[in-house]
Amino acid sequence: MDNKNLWVYIETDEGAAKNVGYELLNPGRIMADKLGEKLVAVVLGKDVEQVAKTAISYGADEVILVEGEEYFNYNTDAQTYALVELIGKYKPAIVLYGATNNGRDMGPRAACALHTGLTADCTGLDIDEKGLLAATRPAFGGNLMATISCPNHRPQMATVRPGVFKKPALDESRTGEIIREDIHIAPADIRVKLVERVKEVAEAVNLEEAEIIVAGGRGLKNAEGFALVRELADVLGATVGASRAAVDAGWIPHAHQVGQTGKTVAPKVYIAVGISGAIQHLAGMTGSDTIIAVNKDADAPIFSVADYGIVGDLFEVVPALTAAFRAKKQ
């Protein structure tokens, strides 16, 4: 097949890039080097030239830049049309998207238009011995991991959860080419109009970009138990997370959920309080730099991934930790 080069779609929103696009330049760089091909970032938006320059600093060899009023906010018809036009012209071998709400919308639409496959919600990426994209994702409720390839159609496509990969080191001395493309969709072909944007509380719960997360689980016993987690998080300047059990019980909104059916996170410090460590939860947080677990069950699976474990009653341990951190800060 003639297709070559690895593309990373850098999602923008009102002129700002979503972190997941930059994160994907990390595995993208490694895989492009394995293939001996270029790593190309694709940026659609309005007034987003700085995003293109930043993508080069994060490792892209080239950036294809498409700017226009219709790309300021995400629009299914406009963004998908532009991307499909670009893929038709340049014929990449691989295209990666962040598994954000918009990426999960755009990726499958583009794949369908191009008659190719897409592996969704990946947690691992590699190039196999045949030079194919090997995209790994949880299957059967997270009980096994499936590695999927697309040997017969191009481009190979995958969406990847935010937080799975770390952003590459920023190197502002790197240089690369910015290729501008003038692509506009006819207004009559835009079927969906953004009428109003309501910012929810979910936007304040930015788990994917948090450096410290304190997460609570079933061991907190009730919604009131989260007061302990919130107090510790306040002292540490951390974001509050939760296990699915705590969310399903109605103790905390879904926006706080970490795990396979929630957010995938990779903070510097992850403190798991009263979380047993089901495989679905571990899939969402094992990329954390340092994991600290507090649980009264010494055999809880969470301890198998923890760097530091405290076996004890969380209702005694957590207030003691909060007091110690508060005293240290003062």
Q: Apex CA 202: angle with CA 199 and CA 205, to 5°?
A: 125
Q: What mean pLDDT is predicted for residues 75-90? A: 93
Helix (H) or strand (E) holding 153: none
Say whether pLDDT at 139 is over 80. no
The residue with tokens 């659609």 is 44
Mean pLDDT of 290-300: 94
| DSSP string covering 161-173 | -TTSSPPPPP-TT
Task: Report pTM.
Answer: 0.72
What CA–CA distance (Å, rounded) separates 208 from 266? 7
Q: Which residues pair with 159 in a beta bridge?
A: 97
Q: What angle do CA 2, 132, 130 make, to 5 degrees?
A: 95
Per-residue CA distances from 221 to 12, 195, 211, 240, 255 (Å): 40, 42, 26, 16, 20
Interval 51-78 mean pLDDT: 93
Q: Write phi, then psi, for 20 (nearest 5 degrees).
A: -60, -30
What pLDDT was estimated at residue 141? 63
Instruction: Tell me the average pLDDT across 96-116.
Output: 93
- pLDDT tens-digit series, residues 151-204: 999 999 999 988 788 889 899 899 999 999 999 988 888 888 888 877 655 445
Is omega for the bond preceding 155 within 30 degrees of 0, making it cis? yes
52-64 pLDDT, tens digit each: 999 999 999 999 9
User: Which pLDDT band holds residue 34 (cuts at 50, 70, 90)?
Assistant: very high
Mean pLDDT of all residues in the chain?
Answer: 90
Q: Measure Cα distances from 67 to 90, 165, 186 in Å.
A: 18, 27, 15
What is the structure's pLDDT at 329? Answer: 82
Residue 223 CA from chain centroid, whole number: 28
Per the DSSP assignment, residues forming a β-bridge with 10 are 43
Mean pLDDT computed over 89-106: 93
Q: What is the largest CA-CA distance in the chain?
A: 63
pLDDT at 113: 93
Contacting residues for 319 by C-beta, under 8 A, at least 6 apart: 228, 231
Taking 90 as the threshold, does the pLDDT of residue 290 lie above it?
Answer: yes
The pLDDT tens digits for 206-249 are 788 889 999 999 999 998 999 999 999 999 999 999 999 999 99
d(CA 165, CA 150): 22
pLDDT of residue 144: 76
Q: Which long-range contacts (CB under 8 A, 24 or more apart) does 290-295 make?
A: 294/318, 294/321, 295/219
Helix axes 226-236, 314-329, angle to 10 degrees: 20
